[in-house]
Structure 1
């Protein structure tokens, strides 16, 4: 199966889902881990890439309603805060429609820390929402936490 296009982007951050970590898993813990590659690319400034099973479908499913609410109201915050510390995303709507964005990405959290603070605008929100919808269609949250 071709998995091209299973990415979401937040400004310079691109997260690509390669596959479910345990494709045949049925319990909520094993079945929802994703093998991903996350990359921040700021040409001429910085490039950081992390890969592995550090994101869960439930993380994306929790981020999505926050993004939808933010898009509808143009207020509030949205956070992608997985259990594993490799990736964090915080978006906050500013008073003039800007998205104050903080991205943390590290391939080796015990020895590195990379934090990117930038300003985007709310026009990014519909694309992020569509991209996450597509990923969650292919990799829905499975099982229920016990």
Structure 2
């Protein structure tokens, strides 16, 4: 099965899911890790890439739930906060539909951190939601974190 198109984008951030880290994992903590690549490319300004198993399907599902709520109410926040510190995304929807966005990305959380702040608007939300739905259809959350 081709994994083309299993990406989501938030402004300049592109996250591509390559595969499940432990496809035959038997419990929540093994079965839900994803092998991903996250990249921010701002030509002439910055390029940062991190790759490896630092996102879980449950991280994406929680982020998706918050994005759906934000898209419906045009208020609130949505956060992608995985256990691993390589990637953080924080969206905060303001009263006129602007979405203040902060993205932290690093391939080496011990020695470096890259923070990007930008403004998006609510018209970006449905696309991000669709992209995450597609990823979670292919890689659903398995098990419970008992």
TM-score of the aligned structures, taking structure 2 as reference length: 0.99
Q: d(CA) in 1 for partners of 2:89 and 2:32? A: 19
Q: By how many angstroms is 1:145 displaced?
A: 1.3
Aligned runs of 1:74-89 on 2, under 5 Å? 74-89=74-89
Aligned residues: 146
| 1:119 aligned residue | 119
Q: By how many angstroms is 1:103 displaced?
A: 0.1
Structure 1 runs of 4+ aligned residues shifted over 3 Å read: none
Instruction: Show structure 2 runs of 5+ residues with no match.
Output: none
Q: d(CA) in 2 for partners of 1:14 and 1:91? A: 15
Deviation track 1:64-92 (CA, whole Å, cap 9, x = no partner) reads 11000000000000000000000000000
| 2:96 aligned residue | 96
Q: d(CA) in 2 for partners of 1:122 and 1:97? A: 5
Instruction: Show structure 1 runs of 5+ residues with no match.
Output: none
Match of 2:67, SS state, is helix
Q: d(CA) in 1 for partners of 2:28 and 2:95? A: 39
| 1:30 aligned residue | 30
Q: d(CA) in 2 for partners of 1:138 and 1:102? A: 27
> RMSD between aligned alpha carbons?
0.5
Aligned runs of 1:55-74 on 2, under 5 Å? 55-74=55-74
Q: By how many angstroms is 1:108 displaced?
A: 0.3
